Structure 1
Amino acid sequence: MTVTFRRPGFVCTDHFLEVPLDHGDPDGGTIEVYAREVVAPGREHDDLPWLLFLQGGPGHKATRPGDAAAWLGRALRDYRVLLLDQRGTGRSTPANRRTLPADPAEAARRLRHFRADSIVRDAELLRRALAGDRPWSVLGQSFGGFCAVTYLSLAPEGLREAFITGGLPSLTAGADEVYRAAYPRVRAAVERYYARYPGDRELVRRVVGHLDGRDVRLPGGERLTGRRFRTLGHDLGSSAHFDDLHHLLEEAFEGEELSDTFLHGVDAAVGYARHPLYALLHEPSYCQGTASNWAAQRVLEEFPEFEEPAMLFGEMIYPWFFDEDPALRPLKECAEMLARDEEWPPLYDPGVLAANTVPVAAAVYHDDMYVDREHSLETAAAVRGLRRWITNEYAHNGLTADSYVLDRLIDMVRGEV
């Protein structure tokens, strides 16, 4: 059943499609994926090309119309946009502590089918259902860009063109190499933060010391530790959220105690209840024939500067998350099994990418905290015909911050830049 509704600036239609849980075993059970079609008012019946949007993550639902997404208005000038809730997220069949099998081994087996390769195969079934034999365009942001490169590897015949922002993955680097490159970028972002707010370094030390010396509880009842508070450095890679920590710290203390305002703000920022798949599949999303074995935790030992309480963490997932976050605690054994799994299949095909004929344009953010610039440039050189735009004008969220990012990529694919 499809449902269409209107809101200012958008005409939206809901689409649901039943797909195999395991595309290699079509008779082995199904799940449902959800996607929202968006078109500009007055163009509902135009024969517009489709643009599939693949959200960053893993484990995040797609942008909603009306969110702070500068690119969407630009896209609607030329395309009929499809916002896909990647399997396990949003209105697609959810994958979380309530819905995954209670048996950790069975839950882990199920989650093997929630990476980029399965997402691409879901997209191909959606394409055939909505566009028939016509190829469509894809826009991949961050992890969505990883998915776009998988799409170019597994099903290039389904693509008319590809746009990638902050999401060119290494074709060969494992999780260890990814985090070995990531920690210095996080350190640089933290130092940029303290250069803007020099008084916050000592304030962060004070908060961490307070948390580690007392039993401080978040509104949900679980204890807030200093190390969990330090994960707020995750947002320093986004221009939209770079200042959020400072605004929290401004109201951190009431006398000698942490304020309710501060604790509520931290609670909203450090929990994984809304995106547990991010914690479960972040490291496995880099694995091809190897186990992650909690790479971020192991590689951290090579960077002793992170022992300093004021040094914040970035986009890393640590095994202790599954002890301290109530939404993740029931999934701890499952996460351990995923971390030890050595049989992850390939996500990219270097031979297919070297012979690529799909027009591709990619924005590589020079100072991206989340995706390594050198890894991205190596991949850009390995994809035949890919046109790259290297810029330091934007942080990782450039696509949502400024419509010019998508505008320029479209012009690049069309040969106008």
Structure 2
Amino acid sequence: MYENLVEKYRAKSYSELIGQDKAIAEVQQFLKEFPKKKALILHGPAGTGKTSLAWAAAIENNSEVLELNASDLRNRAKLEQIVRPASIQKSLFKQSKIILMDEADGITGTDIGGIPELERIIEITRFPIIMTCNDVWQSKLAPLRSKSKLVEMKSLDTIKITEILRRIAEKENINRDINFFTKIAIKSQGDLRAAINDLQSYANEENLFVDTSEKRDVEENIFIILRKLFKERNDFLDLFDSTKMSLDEIFLWIEENIPNEYKNEALVKAYYALGKADVFRGRVYQNQSWRFLVYQNIFQSAGISYAKPSPTYGFTKYEAPKRVLKIWLHNQKTAKKKTIAKKYAKFVHCSVKRIMRDFDLLKPIMNNPEVQKQLNFSEDEIEFLKSQN
């Protein structure tokens, strides 16, 4: 009979959750101090055990669990019918209760009244509310962040995932060598759930080759990457691997948002690191020295991350780079100026370069209606000349 190994080996106690000691301690403290804070948000990448930790907390505390997902949280009516009564009524079978709201970041902007009603429920609840989400820094979750304790769950490293897979395989009589488990762990990119699913999928394959160069599709939003870069403090040499953006595009995003995140000495250090990245970026293009991309990446990632003395928290609104728009506007302006200069240069038998250099001196002549007519200037070109006065 087929049995899903993810569910079969889901952690049922704190001791079964590997590599999440800090998160476990923070959840225990939250439950101990309740109702000092009435809600908690477990956040982090997929497959880190957010839902499992919530269930383990309930089991350890002998609590009933009311579990809901994003589809149950979409509108005020559903929340009023299901969650509001549960948040104030005692459990019939157990001493306490935990309300688990899974995938809270799945609530979309079109979900009417979902988040405002959740805010009200958090205020009146008599029982702990635990929410899970991948990205807690989305702007739509700001009202919930302010009312909740935030607990981050980190991705597991390859060694820990390899060991978990080995233990499961031993119990399931899956006879494979350690290299097999390591390859699956590398492919999972820190997602334990995905790794266990792969183990089950590949368990009965003969002569299976797991391509270690193949990475799970973890294309990340640029805003998530910026939050990791600016909020956390890490080496982050592979931070940009999860986006299809080039280092140059990311450079512009970082340049635009450093002042939104850093102040004082941290701001100076961040711009120094970005300046160094730009030096190596220039060498790449000028000399085709592609080996310098490594140094550009180091200064652009670890250099920016370590500019701050310690990790920071709170929401920051990141903005798209404006320099590209400024360059485009400048190019548009220059292109029109060059078109006019070409017409005038041909008329006076002079180089375009010289007309461009003396453009401001020649504007009064080019603004003469007779000259404009003779040179066949377009309406746009005439308007451009007028705007330059």
With the shorter chain as reference, the TM-score category is: under 0.3
Richer in helix (by share): 2
Q: TM-score, normalised by structure 2?
A: 0.24
Richer in strand (by share): 1
